[in-house]
Structure 1
Amino acid sequence: MLRREARLRREYLYRKAREESQRAAQDRKEKVRRALEENRLIPTELRREALTLQGSLEFDDAGGEGVTNHVDDEYRWAGVEDPKVMITTSRDPSSRLKMFAKELKLVFPGAQRMNRGRHEVGALVRACKANGVTDLLVVHEHRGTPVGLIVSHLPFGPTAYFTLCNVVMRHDIPDLGTVSEAKPHLIMHGFSSRLGKRDDSHRVITFANQDDYISFRHHVYRKTSHHSVELTEVGPRFELKLYMIRLGTLEQEATADVEWRWHPYTNTARKRVFLSAE
């Protein structure tokens, strides 16, 4: 079983690396094509291979949009089969962290919550893979306050590490509304990712990205007239700050490559963020 999983993991990383090299080659060809069409000078860094790239353009045909990649392969059943989300906590959680995990369970349709107990990370991940779980969420705390969220996509990763800020529990929100069990609309502000078709729903979840902080808000709404609706916050609400992405799953922390890391003391632009090549 371990050998098979390691082999599948290597095949996944190989496909991903090939896609990156093919994407880089396609970008170079597009630069040459645009320069020829607009009668401009070919970029200096491409002049040595310009003739080769120009020759390969003759074999490119139209209609290449929508070609699948490893991301499409990971989510090929989206809209056909519902994802299976498992939510757990760090060891020996406080009552507030347990409450926060229960509230996160209400956010994701069909999610399950599991008591951590004495289970190690490796045992958790293996159990999730064996039961077809697609995403494992682990919340961490500091003195009863949720401060961290780890999202590990199974079976091969990646794993994203977030800092939680300004967490407000559901029952700390005045005039609390009732949580709907309908699948929510997703509002993505400040992201460039593609969104699929959404079902009609009276539940709205918002992810708003501003200065690398992702604000999470959860509302339900009802129509008050033909042209207006009334929003009611049902919580929880918090801010997410991504600080690391690893290519592996959660238990591979010591071996998986770091795809991206936040460097707060790097002397660069205002945001002080750059891609790590580790």
Structure 2
Amino acid sequence: MGKRMRQDEEEDAGEEALRKAGEKLPSQFKNKQKRTAAYEKVKKDKSIEKKKRIKLRDAAEKQALELGEAPPPRKAQRTIENTREQDETVALPDDDELQADEGLDEFSSHFSRERVPKLLITTSQECSTNTRKFIKELLTVIPNTYYYKRRSYDLKQIVKYASNREFTSMFVVNENRKNPNGLLVVNLPEGPTAHFKLSSIKLSKKIKGHGKPTRHMPELLLNNFTTRLGHRVGRLLASIFPQDPQFKGRRTVTFHNQRDFIFFRHHRYVFEEKEVKEKAPVVPGDDSGKKSKKSAPKTVTRKGVIARLQECGPRFTLKLQSLQAGTFDSKYGEYEWVHKPDMDTSRRRFFL
């Protein structure tokens, strides 16, 4: 995406240079062959100019390093993320008002370690095999999780049942055409309730080289939840996992927000020994000018410990559809935020 934006900028700059020079633009030629030839010429000139700029930049960096100075900063690449529309609800880390609100919200008891997370998972009334397989993997990722069949109970009855048995959260996995496509997350007993669109599910068996996690408490990572709404959704997701990770198990669970898509990943750290090959110093030849066999470069093998990530699975993507105050109530519930089609007016407008 950044590459395409850069190409558009270069094309605009080329057209602007032609306008200033008083030359015809390629689009102004009526003959197709002349128009194509003019465009190819403009494209070639831009390529030559770009190579010159890169050569000058590299020379300036090399000169600065030789003089022991800091090289000139490179121009930052334009992306959709760093050109997003300004949002008044973006919260700074030292926002006193936000910290005061978080100290009194529905998740404060969880973050103050007053209660242990306990999750109930259920499904829609007709549950397929693919949904059961997905839930089976969720049970291995999230500690202290229990699965109950939906049967013919209403969601309000299940919410009441879970609250009476000291469950702190509830998942409802919905499906369409025998594939899971939605996730309802209910914080108990006071709410809120978030409805996510569920997509891009990949189970552990489909992930190449996947690992088998232990039963240690995982470390939770939340990335790029910057707005007020994002903070609230992030705290809702964080309330599902315990706040005391056991680093001995080397497990990490990540919710990464990018362009309002929340990517879920489950990894474990792996430390292993690896042989590293290094070139030995070259021995100079004799005075006769002939190179001896000893002067040939040799490689020395050394052992070193490296760290890498091994994905355990599953992986899936969430897209927030609505956030409702309180527990689930489809008729009389009050919604804090609802996604509507007319909100997608710009590709650079994000809500989380």
Residue 170 of structure 2 aligns to a residue whose secondary structure is strand
Partners of 1:189 and 1:159 lie apart in 2 by: 21
Question: For residues 196 and 148 of structure 2, what CA distance do their matches in structure 1 show?
Answer: 20
SS of structure 1 residue aligned to 2:343: coil
CA distance in 2, matches of 1:96, 1:271: 35
Q: Which residue of 1 aligns with 2:104?
A: 69
Q: How far does residue 181 in structure 1 lie from its aligned partner after superposition?
A: 1.0
**Paired residues for 1:94-243 under 5 Å:** 94-192=128-226, 193=231, 198-200=245-247, 201-224=249-272, 228-243=306-321
Quickly say closer, same or farther: Cα 1:259–1:203, change in 2 above 3 A. Answer: same
Shift of the alpha carbon at 1:188? 1.6
Work out the CA distance in 1 between the residues paired with 2:223 and 2:111.
24
Instruction: Answer whether contact 2:169 2:188 (CA < 8 A) is retained.
Output: yes
Structure 2 counterpart SS, 1:259: strand
Asked whether the 8 Å contact 2:270–2:308 carries over to 1, the reply is: yes
| Mapped partners of 1:164, 1:118: distance in 2 | 23
Give 2:183's aligned amino acid: L
**Aligned equivalents of 1:217, 1:122: Cα separation in 2:** 31
The Cα offsets for residues 129-171 of structure 1, whole Å up to 9 and x where unpaired, read as 1100110001111112211000000111100000011111122
Q: Output aligned runs, 1:245-264, within 5 Å.
A: 245-250=323-328, 252-264=329-341
Instruction: Give the TM-score normalised by structure 1.
Output: 0.68
Q: Percent identity?
A: 33
Aligned-partner SS, 1:100: helix
> Aligned partners of 1:202, 1:258: CA distance in 2, in Å?
38
CA positional deviation for 1:209: 0.6
Secondary structure, aligned partner of 2:342: coil
Aligned to 1:220, what secondary structure does the other structure show?
Answer: strand
The Cα shift of 1:176 comes to 2.7
Unaligned runs of 5+ in 1: 1-61
How many residues are paired up? 211
Q: How many angstroms does 1:70 deviate by?
A: 2.4
Higher relative contact order (CA 8 A, sep 6+): 2
Alpha-carbon distance in 1 for matches of 2:209, 2:142: 22
Aligned to 2:117: 83
| Partner Cα separation in structure 2 for residue 85 and residue 72 of structure 1 | 14
- What is the alpha-carbon distance in structure 1 between the residues aligned to residue 147 and residue 204 of structure 2? 17
User: C-alpha offsets along residues 29-74 of structure 1, whole Å, 9 cap, x if unaligned?
Assistant: xxxxxxxxxxxxxxxxxxxxxxxxxxxxxxxxx9xx7683224544
**In 2 relative to 1, CA 244–186 (structure 1 residues): closer, same or farther, beyond 3 Å?**
same
TM-score (norm 2): 0.55
Q: Is the Cα–Cα contact under 8 Å of residues 109 and 115 in structure 2 kept in the other structure?
A: no
- SS of match in other structure, 1:174: coil
Mean alpha-carbon deviation: is it higher for 176-185 or for 209-218? 176-185
Judging changes above 3 Å, is the alpha-carbon distance between structure 1 residues 121 and 72 closer, same or farther for their aligned structure 2 residues?
Answer: closer
Secondary structure at 2:341's aligned position in 1?
A: coil
AA aligned to 1:69 is L
1:266 partnered with 2:343: yes
Report Cα offsets for 1:63-89 as digits up to 9, x if no partner.
Answer: xx76832245442553x5421101111
Counterparts of 1:84 and 1:155, CA distance in 2: 12
Classify 1:76/1:272 alpha carbon distance in 2 versus 1 (closer, same or farther; 3 Å): closer
Q: Which blocks of at least 5 consecutive residues in structure 2 are unaligned?
A: 1-95, 274-303
* Larger mean Cα displacement after TM superposition, 222-231 or 181-190: 222-231
Q: Deviations over 1:193-248 (max 9, x none)?
A: 58867442411111111000001011122212576323221111011000100002
> RMSD of aligned C-alpha atoms?
2.7
